[in-house]
Amino acid sequence: MSPTGATDPRWWRHAVIYQVYVRSFADSDGDGIGDLPGIRSRLGHLARLGVDALWITPFYPSPMADGGYDVADPRGVDPVFGTLDDARGLVADAHSLGLRVIVDIVPNHTSAAHPWFQEALTAAPGSPERGRYLFRPGRGDGPPNDWESVFGGPAWTGVADGEWYLHLFDASQPDVDWSTPEVRTEYLAVLRFWLDLGVDGFRIDVAHGLVKADGLPDAGDSDQHGVAVTQRLPYFDQEGVHEIYRSWRAVLDSYSPPRVAVAEAWTRDPARTARYVRPDELHQAFNFHYLRADWSATDLRAVIVGTLAATSPVGAPATWVLSNHDVQRHVTRYGDGPLGLRRARAALLLTLALPGSVYLYQGEELGLPEVLDLPESVLQDPIWRRSGFTERGRDGCRVPIPWTREGSALGFGPSGSRPWLPQPDGWSELSVEAQTGDPRSLLELYRTALRLRRDVTPEADLEWLESGPELLVFRHGNLGCAVNFGPAAEVTVSGPLLLTSEQCEVDGTNLLLPQDTAAWWSIP
Ligand code: TEU
């Protein structure tokens, strides 16, 4: 059950939400690819872990050019993942365990295999069929402007009659034109389709991308994605997106209990992100500023302060995230090996102590590292091909989960099956089975911390108690938290110690906190 009970309409304000990357979570039929029945079979893990909800990445019919983020039919289930009945059964099973279900919606683009795009390809320039996408005449022999694809190369591809179409991602993911009324109506209907099926909310893919600047002006930079998070680009974070989310909010609010949405919006600072969660817009936005911060007390403190300052005036809860299916896993970002793991343990206690809502990415509870040495022959991320085979892309954080010590797929799939990406040697000791019951394991730390977090006063403000260049000490309601980034330091704890990420010495109210260690205590 959620910390405040399954009927609390404000559950999302302090929920812990677990991201399931469907292809890599659990494979029920042995084809090497995770699926919806696989997720159903492993819901017990999520209930035992103690999360409130799961967000499932796209499982819709798709040619899988971008792992399902190329949607050919937003109202169906790809046969590789199961059926609509499996989706209904999954929602029902999750609900019976007290878990809510959030699904992905991909409104910035469709797959090239979507019937709309197929119609557009054979239709004439200027036709209504072309008007659902961004087709334009070229400039000279080249594309209409200088925009670059996030995955590398130009954001435009030419078609036989000389027009070009925009795709901010892969050429098989044409961008939809949100100034066309039919597009707006269609996506509102897609929202209703899944809400009527019983989902509790949506994660909105590329929420900052839907509206492009009038006239599609040049970006004027030749490394647009090196600068995308610091500078405004004419295709990201445009004012017009907010009106779309106001109309979506009205639909979400029309359900009882109201449903929720979280924006995947990459913006240049927390204040820009906060604009997506104004009272009549979305409920949450991922805090990528937190994810991007280095393992440093000053950097993390600055992001925490900046996030809370930006979200509280709009009345939205902050969110905190360390990993997802697009970024290098944080054990590896924080130094890899034993150092990365030690920091990930401390980072967990820091993250779960902050006010607001937390997103976890499958496998982080096992301490999975990024797999940096996948053979080139297995790489599937379109970034690999579009970068001219210079950037390996995101497959290293998408390697299937090890559930058991034994078996050809370590329990990810049935015995004898081979996962779509190979699991490295040594992952059997990271499996759920191997870590369960071991009090020193990261998995047990997650379980304990998530259980203790249920007793933390929700909606309390964060109050800094001590801080230094290498130390964060704060109070959140009845929880005290200290994280030490530097050499062993003494911290005063004003109540009984609840949990530490490593063994610590305590003498009365004096806690000696080693480097890269975090502690929780309860404040009466
Ligand atoms: O990602 C949007 C996005 O811009 C980045 O996360 C991007 O994928 C990354 O920086 C590339 O290095 C979303 C999805 O999360 C991602 O998996 C999809 O590939 C992308 O949209 C297109 O749908």
Interatomic CA distance for residues 54 and 20, integer angstroms: 7
Domain extents in the chain = 11-109+181-212+227-394+433-452, 115-166, 458-522
Pocket test for ligand 1, best of 20, 56, 69 (most atoms within 8 A of CB): 69
Atom 23 of ligand 1, residue of closest alpha carbon: 69
pLDDT, position 440: 97
Number of residues written out for the chain = 524
326 lines ligand 1 (CB under 6 A): yes
CATH 3.30.70.260 fits 115-166, yes or no: no
Copy the structure tokens of residue 27: 């494979």
pLDDT, position 4: 40
Catalytic residues: 205, 264
Nearest atom (ligand 1) to Cα of 70: 23
- Kindly report the CATH class assigned to 458-522: mainly beta
Return per-residue pLDDT of the chain as tens, 524 residues: 334 445 788 999 999 999 999 999 999 999 999 999 999 999 999 999 999 999 999 999 999 999 999 999 999 999 999 999 999 999 999 999 999 999 999 999 999 999 999 999 999 999 999 999 999 999 999 999 999 999 999 999 999 999 999 999 999 999 999 999 999 999 999 999 999 999 999 999 999 999 999 999 999 987 888 776 777 899 999 999 999 999 999 999 999 999 999 999 999 899 999 999 999 999 999 999 999 999 999 999 999 999 999 999 999 999 999 999 999 999 999 999 999 999 999 999 999 999 999 999 999 999 999 999 999 999 999 999 999 999 999 999 999 999 999 999 999 999 999 999 999 999 999 999 999 999 999 999 999 999 999 999 988 999 999 878 999 999 999 999 999 999 999 999 999 999 999 999 999 999 999 999 999 999 99
Copy the structure tokens of residue 285: 């936005």
Asked whether 64 and 200 are in contact (CB, 8 A), the reply is no
Backbone angles phi, psi at 133, to 5 degrees: -125, -175
pLDDT, position 228: 65
From ligand 1's centre to the CA of 326, what distance in Å?
A: 6
Atom 9 of ligand 1, residue of closest alpha carbon: 326
B/e letters for 53-86, b = 16+ CB within 10 Å, e = fewer, are bbbbbbbbbbebbbbbbbbbbbebbbebbbeeeb
Q: Identify any residues that bridge with 100 across adjacent strands, giving them in sequence order.
A: 53
Tell me the CA end-to-end span of the chain in Å, nearest whole number. Answer: 25
Instruction: Compute the Cα dihedral for 89, 200, 196, 188 and give only its sign.
Output: negative
395 lines ligand 1 (CB under 6 A): no
- CATH of 11-109+181-212+227-394+433-452 given 3.30.1180.20, 3.20.20.80, 3.90.700.10, 3.60.21.10: 3.20.20.80
